[in-house]
């Protein structure tokens, strides 16, 4: 195997046009089934759908000034859902996202959209994370330290 | 991925896709094959054949639309083929009137259903079979259920590849020689066999959690593998409270990973950890797993309950030591060990004071275990018995093999009076 594996989290964001019609029911069933499968193998930690941006707001800083604008946002694309995966490589996260998008391709003819697969910073990305020793011993919980010097 | 059209780097090299999908699916493929052919070694060989075919075909013909189904169908096809050839071979032998070699009776129809959950359960009960040594169980489980290569397992355990390879080969041979069936354990053995599975998973977790050597890859990988196996097991055996207890324990312990070392890589003990760096998602998941096991008193559930007490405390001062001491008392009944008693002493000392805890520690014998004199020293110091406390910390400093811990004990001893003699090398 070519790539070093490590436990990583990826946030995936599904983006697509504001649909004129609701998605076909077959697609929703297939998405639920895929989600159950990804959960069963320990890869999917969390997922949820997002309401249209019309129900949200945007808070911005531009030119040193803060402004708040209620949705809908001007962009043609809406963020439709998110998922948080815990996987062993970027390629695994991409594979889950691909399976998810193939369902859209196969069950919703004409639909177009994208999933951004973004790495969540983890302890492995922090300075001083490399190979630091943990507490010794193999007690049932964190082994007791010598206790606070009180 | 077809036309990129953007500045994004190339993705989806077919070879890379094969490797990725393989790692994701190999446990299920091996599990299905093991049920069809009844032998782990043969199942793994057939699975490897399938991988080779994918590596040949996908780069040439493109990645199939549904890679997992392709792999599973190809693997089953090869298994059924092999069994047919074996059956033909046996018939031929019978025709020429020689003895028939024993072979598994293939359950061809069973090989064609699509449900893999039970296959995975059968596989993990087999790789964790008590007939194997603990080391062999761990290696075989990481290989067949984690999809880790021999090289990766070797790196995680700081062993040579040939050592790990031999361990795995020997384990498969023992299972074959002892005719261990690949099946769910019979009811009479279920509890003991499940305990063995849970032990293997927790050992893998602890190897990563308590890692004092190895590269930065090791700790998160082993902890992550153990968590993944635990989550899978919880999905397959949802009515087993101890499985949820183990998952809860691992999720809550893993939630502290970022806080367990400071910027310089020094260990930070639980009371001193910055709780803002604890992973709230893992804590939430851990507490939810614990809820599913509520009201039961198995050793993993009890340990998870203790971990949960720490997780629920906003600051170290908020820790419910009273409850932790009670939980340790129950744990000492359910799963007695000197280490549990030592932990109970710490909890009792924090809940009711050092004079109640000291008798517990005085009754313990843990040769070579530095934390015993360290805990004793701390209790004596709090009772004002300074000279005795100093001696205990000097003893702890001499016993520990961890340089940073030694510094800590030497400092505690020094703070209690004259500088102690340096024992051991600073490394």
Cβ within 8 Å, pair B310-A39: no
pLDDT above 80: residue B289: yes
- Percentage of chain B lying above the pLDDT 70 cut: 88
**B3-53 pLDDT, tens digit each:** 444 455 556 688 889 999 999 999 999 999 999 999 999 999 999 999 999
Q: How confident is the model at residue B118 (pLDDT cuts 50, 70, 90)?
A: confident
The residue of chain B nearest to residue A91, with distances taken between CA atoms, is B20
Window B:5-34, CB contacts with A under 8 Å: 11-12, 15-17, 19-21, 23-24
Candidates B3, B4, B19, B24, partner chain A, best to mutate (most A CBs within 10 A): B24
**Quick check: B343 and A129 CB within 8 A?**
no
A101 at B interface, C-beta within 8 A:
no
Measured between CA atoms, how close is A101 to chain B, in angstroms?
Answer: 11
Sign of CA dihedral B372, B373, B377, B378: negative
| Residue A4 pLDDT > 70 | no
- Who contacts B247 (Cβ-Cβ below 8 Å, separation ≥6)? B227, B230, B231, B233, B234, B286, B289
Q: Which residue of A has its CA nearest to B69?
A: A99
φ, ψ of residue B385 in degrees (nearest 5): -90, 75
> For residue B36, which of B147, B137, B116 has the smallest C-alpha distance?
B116
What SS3 state is found at A81? strand
Q: Taking a contact as any Cβ pair under 8 Å apart, which residues of chain B between 275 and 294 contact chain A?
A: 281, 285
A47-61, B7-21, B139-153, B187-201: which range is least confident on average? B7-21
pLDDT of residue B9: 58
CA distance B115 to B119: 8
A100-111 b/e with 16+ CB inside 10 Å = b?
bbebbeebbeee
- Residue B294: band (very low, low, confident or very high) from pLDDT cuts 50, 70, 90: confident
**B349 at A interface, C-beta within 8 A:** yes
- B271 to chain A: closest CA residue: A148
Structural tokens at position B129: 């079979």
pLDDT at B90: 78
A119 at the B interface (CB within 8 A)?
A: no
Nearest CA to CA, how far is B293 from chain A (Å)? 18
CB contact under 8 A, B216 and A142: no
From the CA of B92, how many Å to the nearest CA of chain A? Answer: 41
Q: Which residues contact B47 (CB under 8 A, 6 or more apart)?
A: B26, B29, B30, B33, B75
CB of A48 less than 8 A from some CB of B: no
What are the tens digits of pLDDT across the range B206-258? 888 876 555 566 677 899 999 999 999 999 999 999 999 999 999 999 999 88
| Most distant pair of Cα atoms in chain A: their distance | 68
């Amino acid at each position: 195997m070519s790539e070093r594996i490590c436990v990583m989290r990826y946030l995936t964001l599904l983006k697509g046009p504001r649909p004129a019609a609701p998605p076909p029911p077959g697609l929703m069933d297939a998405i639920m089934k895929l989600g159950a499968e990804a959960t069963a193998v320990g890869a999917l930690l969390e997922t949820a759908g997002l309401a249209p941006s019309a129900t949200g707001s945007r808070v911005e800083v531009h030119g040193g000034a803060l402004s708040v604008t209620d949705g809908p946002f001007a962009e043609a694309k809406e963020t439709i859902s998110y998922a948080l995966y815990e996987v062993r490589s970027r390629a695994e996260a991409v594979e889950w996202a691909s399976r998810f998008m193939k369902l859209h391709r196969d069950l919703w003819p004409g639909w177009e959209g994208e999933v951004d697969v973004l790495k969540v910073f983890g302890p492995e990305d922090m300075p001083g994370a490399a190979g630091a020793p943990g507490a010794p011993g193999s007690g049932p919980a964190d082994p007791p330290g010598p206790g606070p010097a009180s | 991925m077809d036309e990129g059209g953007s500045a994004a780097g190339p993705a989806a090299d077919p070879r890379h896709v094969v490797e990725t999908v393989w790692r994701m699916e190999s446990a299920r493929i091996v599990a299905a094959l093991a049920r069809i052919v009844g032998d782990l070694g043969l199942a793994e060989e057939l699975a490897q054949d399938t991988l080779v075919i994918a590596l040949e075909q996908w780069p040439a013909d493109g990645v199939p639309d549904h890679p997992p189904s392709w792999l599973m169908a190809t693997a089953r096809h090869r298994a059924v083929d092999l069994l047919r050839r074996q059956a033909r071979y046996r018939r031929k032998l019978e025709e020429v009137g020689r003895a028939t070699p024993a072979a598994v009776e293939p359950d061809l129809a069973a090989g064609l259903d699509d449900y893999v959950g039970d296959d995975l359960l059968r596989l993990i009960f087999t790789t964790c079979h008590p007939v194997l040594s603990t080391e062999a169980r761990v290696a075989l489980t990481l290989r067949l259920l984690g999809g880790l290569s021999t090289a990766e397992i070797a790196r995680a355990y700081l062993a040579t590849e040939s050592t790990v390879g031999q361990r795995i080969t020997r384990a498969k041979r023992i299972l074959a020689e002892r005719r261990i069936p690949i099946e769910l354990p019979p009811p009479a053995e279920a509890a003991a066999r499940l305990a063995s599975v849970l032990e293997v998973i927790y050992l893998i977790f602890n190897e990563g959690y308590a890692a004092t050597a190895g590269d930065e890859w090791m700790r998160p990988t082993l902890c992550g593998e153990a968590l993944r196996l635990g989550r899978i097991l919880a999905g397959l055996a949802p009515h087993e409270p101890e499985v949820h207890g183990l998952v809860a324990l691992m999720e809550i312990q893993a939630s502290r990973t970022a806080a367990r070392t400071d910027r310089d890589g020094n260990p930070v003990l639980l009371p001193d950890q910055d709780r803002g760096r604890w992973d709230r998602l893992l804590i939430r998941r851990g507490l939810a797993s614990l809820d599913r096991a509520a009201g039961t008193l198995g050793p993993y559930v009890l340990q998870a309950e203790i971990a949960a007490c720490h997780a629920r405390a906003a600051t170290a001062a908020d820790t419910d030591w009273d409850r932790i001491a009670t939980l340790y008392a129950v744990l000492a009944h359910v799963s007695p060990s000197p280490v549990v008693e030592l932990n109970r002493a710490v909890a009792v000392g924090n809940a009711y004071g050092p004079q109640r805890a000291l008798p517990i520690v005085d009754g313990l014998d843990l040769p070579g275990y530095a934390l015993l004199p360290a805990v004793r020293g701390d209790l004596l110091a709090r009772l004002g018995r300074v000279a005795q406390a100093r001696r205990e910390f000097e003893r702890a400093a001499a016993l520990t093999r961890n340089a940073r811990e030694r510094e800590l004990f030497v400092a505690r001893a020094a703070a209690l009076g004259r500088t102690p003699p340096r024992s051991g090398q600073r490394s």
